[in-house]
A and B are shown apart, each in its own frame.
Chain A
Amino acid sequence: MTESFEPVIVGFLCNWCSYRAADLAGTARIHYAPNMRPIRVMCSGRVDPQFVLKALREGADGVMIAGCHPGECHYVNGNIKTLRRYHLLKRMLKQLGVEEERVQLVWASASEGKQLAEAVDRMTEQLRALGPLRWPERVLGEDGRGANGHEAFVSAIEPREEVAA
């Protein structure tokens, strides 16, 4: 073990474009940072903000949401809904003091393995520079209490309620 910090990124990749882009990156033997751990969803529109919060809370340093380019979503416009939701989510994360680079939305078509790999490399580099997220300390306060001194909710309820507290 050394002290060098390697961020962990959870990637939500849509089945039709971005997951296949990652497949293609592999098939083409494009080497990129092994820091992103992909989870397949049918459409980027399936990415519930609570998934993102959950990943950050569970120890990820960043989350990448990747979908088809606007106009190319397999389900017509799921990615447009993702885009809208993503802006709201970013605003909320900002209020919690989470840096912008930690949650990124990427468009990668099935033929853009290279672009996806580059996005992962770029994000990994950015997060290396930012350092670990440390969600509990940052969002809930060092002692696990919220910034306003209230006891933060634990388990039972999903993270979005937790954040609202």
Chain B
Amino acid sequence: MNHKPMEEARIGVYVCHCGTNIAKTVDVAEVARWVGEQENVVVARDYKFMCSSLGQDLIESDIKERGLTRIVVAACSPHMHEKTFRGACQRAGLNPYMFEMANIREHDSWATDDRAAATQKAKALVEGAVRRVAHHTPLEPLPVEINPNTLVVGGGIAGITTALELANAGYHVYLVEREPSIGGHMAQLDKTFPTLDCSACILTPKMVEVGQHPNITLLSYSEVEKVEGYIGNFTITVRKKARYINEELCTGCGICEEKCPKRVVDHVFEAGLGYRKVVYRPFPQAVPKYPVIDRENCTYFLRGKCRACQIFCPTKAIDFEQEDEIITFQVGNIVLATGYDLFDARRIPQYGYGRLANVFTSMEFERMVNAAGPTGGKIVLRDGVTEPKSVAIIHCVGSRDKNYHEYCSKVCCMYSLKFAHLVHERLPDAEVYNFYIDIRAPGKGYEEFYHRLLHEGTHFIRGRVAEVTDAARQPGEEGKLIVQVEDTLIGKQRRIPVDMVILSAGLEARHDSREVSQLFKMGCDFDGFFVERHPKLDPVATMTEGIFIAGCAQGPKDIPDTVAQGAAAAARVAGLIHLGTVMMEPVRAYIHEELCSGCRICNTLCPYNAIVFHEDRQVSEVITALCQGCGTCVAACPSGVISGAHFTNEQIMSQIEGVLWDVRRNGNGKQPTVNIQQSTANVQQPTVNEP
């Protein structure tokens, strides 16, 4: 049970006051005095601000003058200042990994008022660090070269922005988009709030730029199948689905689309409001320009007959024999910009979507008001001809609702206001009712836009809609849709008969975001949105080095925020490419091969497939470059022959002994062996040491 350090450890311990942050609750002088008496401790001091340059000088001069070989600083969290003190060690010629921090601020002095208990805990934490550091070994950070190519997944406005920023900076980008065309949701929109500029007019030039950029390899109608490696060196495998069109020959003339005799409801681009042909481009400005044959609905694939497209194609580009292509390439960084799904309004049956014909989703309405959409921009009921005389727009459908999504989808208020404006513009005589909980208009020009709508004569009714029904109860309700709501401003139930209802559905994470996050080995939250490294200070990085996120994949947001994030992610990637190499923490696992029993238990445990089995020698080996240092294999090896650098069994076992110094039975006999602690309730604590 003796975890003896390898060589004589000469430890210096520095207990920080942090002004009064620590010293107010922890008797720092007593901790320093006490730890000075512990084994291997050569110097123990307390000091007002260890992180100040004077504090760091103290460490540096002690290392040089007193021959210290290991350092412990008892202060704040290592997430705060581990780097700082490692730097001090390094400057004094000591390997930075011969350092350990005891967190006596966040984990101790700030978490209690009980001075005696806090002091006791501080001693335990410091003693844990002292015993641990005795087993530290010098380590060198691992240099990793950054491959200058980048993978961007998702070709919505977020991914388009990232790809263009990087490509214009001179770096190569692989842009992988699942659908036949890039553009994402923005391509479906008509006008964009609050400026009401036409979405396609601002988006399509960017799409064209992506399609023509020499630095962008656009892989549309494709999906990432496999991701191997780590920052700097990912190997990506992409499946490029068969379009049944020879891209070398196709000119994008669209004749096939014209001649195809079969049409189906387009649930993707037209949101179910319109049709498309079986050989199709989602929209005329699609990038790339090549169509796709929808194999599931194609008469030729179903019955072996038709071939109309093939017959009419002037360049003989139709190829029914085409197969999926598997493409692999290397990148150094990855940006995930996979966007959002619209909340499925059918999940709220009382709003009648899918049952009551004239209840529409917001995306259907976007397509309806779009001049290039199924109705040519005319606002009409499901029959295709009748103009509504009254329109209800219901906010927060699926958002801000404990039964669906608790969060606010951030854009629905604004696009609902936009819809109200568009109805006024196209049908000046129609009444428009917006049913809202609160109006959320925080953005440049957003509140002003709301005020504009107030003047345009929109009726704003505050309250969550209970039901949309076609069951008339009062005169004037026959043949109408009735919106039942409690108007919370006047405290009354109201029934508003209208011709058309628009459900402003919220934004939710992609249905497959969990699988995608597993594929890329990074995290997503309970709602399925990708988790950023820090919610405020690092919104585009993830916990996985080399993987960044942008746009609605990270959380609901509008186009300006999406674009800002896309550009930010590009800047982060460009920074890494420019550096060329990054240094990684040398926290890695290592298998002592001569002791490995070859049981292979560790092989399947590693989330990064970093452990290989050598059939010839019947032993396992960790590929250092792939290992991320989680330590799962170290904990699992039944032979105990895997060591985890900087988190070795010896280091942790010694730390356990240290933190339990006061209750250990087979300790050094310094302490009583029963579990009785000083009670502090009636002991007056002096507040000495207060600087």
Interface residues of A (CB under 8 A from B): 1-8, 10, 16, 19-20, 22-27, 29-34, 37-43, 45-51, 54-55, 58-61, 68-69, 71-78, 81, 85, 111, 117, 132, 134, 136, 155-156, 158
Q: B630 contacts A22, CB within 8 Å?
A: no
Binds A, one of B105-113, B195-203, B204-212: B105-113
Q: Which of B78, B524, B629 contacts A40 (CB 8 A)?
A: B78
Asked if B525 is at the interface of the complex by the 8 Å CB criterion, the answer is: yes
Q: Which of A7, A19, A32 contacts B111 (CB 8 A)?
A: A32
Q: B665 contacts A81, CB within 8 Å?
A: no
CB-CB under 8 A for A71 and B514, given A43-B631, A51-B653: yes
CB neighbours of B531 from chain A (8 A): 72
CB neighbours of A19 from chain B (8 A): 77, 79
CB-CB under 8 A for A38 and B103, given A27-B110, A78-B630, A132-B675: yes
Asked if B655 is at the interface of the complex by the 8 Å CB criterion, the answer is: yes
Asked if B674 is at the interface of the complex by the 8 Å CB criterion, the answer is: yes
Chain B: minimal CB distance from A164 (Å): 12
CB neighbours of B124 from chain A (8 A): 37
CB neighbours of A39 from chain B (8 A): 128, 652, 655-656, 659
Chain A: minimal CB distance from B3 (Å): 11
Chain A: minimal CB distance from B309 (Å): 44
CA distance A76 to B500 in the complex (A): 46
Q: B106 contacts A10, CB within 8 Å?
A: no
Interface residues of B (CB under 8 A from A): 1-2, 77-79, 103, 105-114, 117-118, 120-121, 124-125, 128, 514, 517-518, 521, 523-526, 531, 535, 543-544, 587, 605, 607-608, 628-632, 634-636, 640, 644, 647, 649, 652-653, 655-657, 659-660, 662-666, 673-679
Q: A45 contacts B631, CB within 8 Å?
A: yes
If over half of A's interface residues share one DSSP class (helix, strand or loop), that class is named, otherwise mixed; here it is loop
CB neighbours of B2 from chain A (8 A): 155
Q: A46 contacts B635, CB within 8 Å?
A: yes
Q: Which of A4, A5, A34, A42 contacts B630 (CB 8 A)?
A: A42
CB-CB under 8 A for A45 and B635, given A34-B118, A61-B675: yes
CB neighbours of B514 from chain A (8 A): 71
CB neighbours of B525 from chain A (8 A): 72
Chain B: minimal CB distance from A69 (Å): 8
Identify 13 residue pairs between A and B in the complex whose beta-carbon atoms are under 8 Å apart, listed by A's number. A1-B679, A2-B679, A3-B676, A6-B679, A39-B659, A40-B78, A43-B630, A49-B635, A61-B675, A74-B544, A111-B535, A132-B675, A155-B2
CB-CB under 8 A for A77 and B607, given A48-B635, A58-B665, A71-B524: yes
CA distance A155 to B678 in the complex (A): 30
CB neighbours of B640 from chain A (8 A): 158
CA distance A51 to B449 in the complex (A): 61
CB neighbours of A158 from chain B (8 A): 640
Chain A: minimal CB distance from B99 (Å): 14
Q: Which of B77, B117, B666 contacts A34 (CB 8 A)?
A: B117
CA distance A1 to B680 in the complex (A): 9
Q: B657 contacts A58, CB within 8 Å?
A: yes
CB neighbours of A76 from chain B (8 A): 518, 521, 607-608
Q: Which of B111, B628, B644 contacts A117 (CB 8 A)?
A: B111
Supplied contacts A39-B655, A41-B647, A45-B632, 13 more A-B pairs, CB within 8 Å: A19-B77, A26-B111, A37-B125, A39-B656, A39-B659, A42-B631, A54-B656, A58-B663, A69-B526, A72-B523, A72-B525, A74-B544, A75-B628
CB-CB under 8 A for A42 and B660, given A25-B111, A31-B113: no
CB neighbours of B128 from chain A (8 A): 37, 39
Q: B631 contacts A71, CB within 8 Å?
A: no
CB-CB under 8 A for A26 and B607, given A10-B656, A51-B656: no
CA distance A43 to B607 in the complex (A): 12
CB-CB under 8 A for A78 and B543, given A8-B675, A23-B106, A111-B535: no
Q: B112 contacts A32, CB within 8 Å?
A: yes
CA distance A32 to B117 in the complex (A): 12
Which among A10, A19, A46, A111 has the greatest number of chain B C-beta atoms within 10 A?
A: A46
Chain A residue nearest to B585 in the complex (CB):
A42
Chain A: minimal CB distance from B389 (Å): 49
Chain B: minimal CB distance from A132 (Å): 4
Q: Which of B106, B114, B543, B647 contacts A74 (CB 8 A)?
A: B543
Chain A residue nearest to B640 in the complex (CB):
A158
Q: A31 contacts B635, CB within 8 Å?
A: no
CA distance A29 to B24 in the complex (A): 14
CA distance A85 to B631 in the complex (A): 14
Nearest 7 CB-CB pairings of A with B: A46-B631, A26-B106, A45-B632, A59-B663, A75-B630, A26-B110, A76-B607
Q: A30 contacts B111, CB within 8 Å?
A: yes
Q: A58 contacts B118, CB within 8 Å?
A: no
Q: Which of A20, A42, A69, A78 contacts B647 (CB 8 A)?
A: A42
Chain A: minimal CB distance from B207 (Å): 34
Which among A3, A77, A117, A156 has the greatest number of chain B C-beta atoms within 10 A?
A: A77
Chain A: minimal CB distance from B115 (Å): 10
Q: A58 contacts B78, CB within 8 Å?
A: no
CB neighbours of B632 from chain A (8 A): 43, 45-46, 75, 78, 81
CA distance A1 to B417 in the complex (A): 69
CA distance A33 to B2 in the complex (A): 31
Chain B: minimal CB distance from A18 (Å): 11
Q: B1 contacts A29, CB within 8 Å?
A: no
Chain A: minimal CB distance from B195 (Å): 35
CA distance A149 to B204 in the complex (A): 82
Q: A58 contacts B660, CB within 8 Å?
A: yes
CB neighbours of A7 from chain B (8 A): 675
CA distance A55 to B544 in the complex (A): 31
Chain A: minimal CB distance from B240 (Å): 27
CB neighbours of A155 from chain B (8 A): 1-2
CB-CB under 8 A for A34 and B121, given A46-B647, A61-B675, A72-B525: yes
CB neighbours of B657 from chain A (8 A): 58
Q: A31 contacts B111, CB within 8 Å?
A: yes
CB neighbours of A34 from chain B (8 A): 108, 111-112, 114, 117-118, 120-121
